[in-house]
């Protein structure tokens, strides 16, 4: 069953059971962020796993849940934002964007079709679920843990004190920080503040000099009066980073070093229809995103999944003649899942009458040609996987 596009963070993945993940996959089109992949493999070097658990056991358990519902991989936020700063437009209307340069993303010969080969993703999750970790996996886990260990929250708070004193002296909560940063920095046209905002974007993206050249040159020439209008996606990352740093400095959010990493999930908020998390920071800062989709609290989604799972199991236990679509038990009035599907889908494909299976020869000629090209591209690419 296809549904609205949905992604989630590690906190939600940790709290649901494999069968609930299966139910999630039945109701939504899942996509995965690079941040989730990095956080999962980072547990391979977890410094303090739960009693009775080895770090590898944690990764294996999480990967097993992903095997059945891994979805496609969203392109890394940094690549998108740096590209936008160099005049590569980033669509911000909720669609999932894949990395066209990735080895498993293929273009058909006529250039009109894009093929996403999920096999490498599936192989990765299955390998991790089996406890088969490569040296590269080990290295990535070490690098991720080192990155977290090097996050200096007191240093960040101290660095932003003067900024907060100048712009946020009257702020009393997270919402005040968001509104004041927008009013005085993001939505303004002051050349000084816009220049400082551009530098902040470069900093949060860890942008190399080459990636900064075009936007900095155009800004210096007076051709970019407002960064938000020039590069809205990159600006959204700089905005979120600034808001988090200010909230840390004003102690409006907790001082966990992992908050800096968790913020990265929100960089993907403009893509997809639904983001699910059990992380308080995500709930607090969701209003600061430029998302067109919805935020769902993890416990609420889990509770709904349990109800759907129970209804499906009860329905399956009935004689075949008595079975009815179990999802019709729920409505938008009493179910988050039903409400989301109604909001983001023009119609429910599950309600369409069964269609007689067609052969490829029954399809339109141009569709046949696209399928042929896709098959050729996959065969050629998979030769490199094997």
Q: Tell how far CA 95 is from the center of its chain.
A: 11
Query: In this predicted model, what pLDDT tens digit does every residue of 137-170 receive, in sequence order?
Result: 999 999 999 999 999 999 999 999 999 999 999 9
Query: In this predicted model, what pLDDT tens digit does every residue of 15-60 receive, in sequence order?
Result: 999 999 999 999 999 999 999 999 999 999 988 777 668 899 999 9
Spatial contact of 164 and 181, defined as CB atoms under 8 Å apart: no
Torsion of CA 41, 44, 50, 54, to 10 degrees: 130
Please list, in sequence order, all residues whose beta carbon lies within 8 angstroms of the beta carbon of residue 186, skipping any fewer than 6 positions away: 197, 227, 228, 235, 239
Q: Tell how far CA 202 is from the center of its chain.
A: 21
Spatial contact of 268 and 74, defined as CB atoms under 8 Å apart: yes
Burial environment of residue 349 by CB neighbours within 10 A (0 to 12, 13 to 18, 19 or more): exposed
The reported pLDDT for the residue numbered 304 is 98
Confidence of residue 119 (pLDDT cuts 50, 70, 90): confident
Query: In this predicted model, what pLDDT tens digit does every residue of 91-107 receive, in sequence order?
Result: 998 999 999 888 888 87
Give the global pTM.
0.90
The reported pLDDT for the residue numbered 373 is 74
What are the structure tokens assigned to 351, written together? Answer: 């309600």
Query: In this predicted model, what pLDDT tens digit does every residue of 349-385 receive, in sequence order?
Result: 777 776 665 677 777 776 777 777 777 776 776 666 5
Query: In this predicted model, what pLDDT tens digit does every residue of 223-246 receive, in sequence order?
Result: 999 999 999 999 999 999 999 999
Cα–Cα distance list, 56 to 89, 145, 148, 205 (Å) = 40, 15, 19, 31
Spatial contact of 214 and 263, defined as CB atoms under 8 Å apart: no
What are the structure tokens assigned to 195, written together? Answer: 């220049």
Query: In this predicted model, what pLDDT tens digit does every residue of 311-359 receive, in sequence order?
Result: 999 999 999 888 889 999 999 999 999 999 999 998 787 777 766 656 7
Torsion of CA 237, 241, 246, 247, to 10 degrees: 100
Residue range 206-213: mean pLDDT, rounded: 92
Spatial contact of 102 and 301, defined as CB atoms under 8 Å apart: no
Spatial contact of 128 and 60, defined as CB atoms under 8 Å apart: yes
Which has the higher per-residue pLDDT, 200 or 362? 200
The reported pLDDT for the residue numbered 53 is 80
Phi, psi of 76 (to 5 degrees): -65, 140
Phi, psi of 295 (to 5 degrees): -100, 135
Q: Mean pLDDT across the chain, nearest whole number?
A: 91
Identify the CA nearest to 219 among candidates 189, 180, 186: 189
């Amino acid at each position: 069953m296809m549904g609205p596009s949905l992604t989630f963070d590690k906190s939600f993945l940790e709290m649901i059971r494999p069968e609930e993940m299966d139910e999630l996959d039945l109701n939504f089109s899942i996509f995965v962020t690079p941040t989730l992949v990095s956080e999962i493999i980072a547990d391979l070097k977890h410094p303090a796993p739960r009693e009775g658990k080895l770090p590898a056991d944690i990764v294996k358990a999480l990967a097993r849940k992903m095997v059945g519902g891994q979805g496609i991989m969203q392109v890394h936020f940094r690549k998108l934002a740096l590209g936008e700063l160099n005049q590569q437009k980033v669509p911000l209307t909720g669609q999932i964007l894949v990395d066209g340069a990735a080895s498993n993303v293929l273009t058909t010969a006529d250039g009109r079709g894009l093929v996403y080969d999920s096999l490498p993703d599936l192989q990765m999750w299955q390998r991790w679920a089996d406890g088969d970790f490569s040296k590269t996996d080990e290295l990535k886990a070490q690098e991720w843990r080192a990155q977290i260990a090097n996050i200096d929250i007191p240093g960040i708070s101290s660095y932003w004190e003067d900024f907060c004193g100048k712009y946020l002296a009257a702020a009393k909560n997270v919402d005040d920080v968001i509104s004041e940063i927008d009013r005085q920095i993001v939505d303004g046209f002051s050349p000084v503040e816009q220049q400082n905002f551009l530098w902040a974007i470069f900093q949060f993206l860890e942008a190399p000099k080459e990636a900064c050249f075009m936007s900095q040159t155009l800004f210096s020439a007076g051709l970019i009066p407002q960064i938000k209008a020039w590069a809205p996606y990159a600006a959204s990352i700089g905005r979120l980073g600034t808001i988090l740093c200010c909230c840390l400095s004003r102690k409006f959010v907790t001082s966990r070093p992992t908050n800096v990493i968790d913020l990265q999930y929100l960089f993907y908020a403009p893509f997809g229809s639904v983001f699910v998390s059990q992380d308080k920071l995500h709930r607090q800062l969701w209003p600061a995103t430029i998302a067109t989709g919805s935020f769902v609290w993890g416990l609420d989604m889990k509770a709904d999944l349990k109800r759907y799972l129970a209804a499906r199991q009860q329905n399956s236990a009935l004689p075949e003649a008595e079975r009815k679509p179990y999802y019709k038990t729920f409505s938008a009035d009493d179910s988050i899942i039903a409400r989301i599907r109604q909001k983001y889908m023009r119609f429910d494909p599950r309600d369409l009458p069964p269609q007689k299976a067609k052969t490829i020869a029954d399809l339109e000629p141009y569709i046949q040609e696209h399928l042929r090209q896709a098959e050729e591209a996959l065969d050629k690419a998979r030769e490199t996987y094997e």
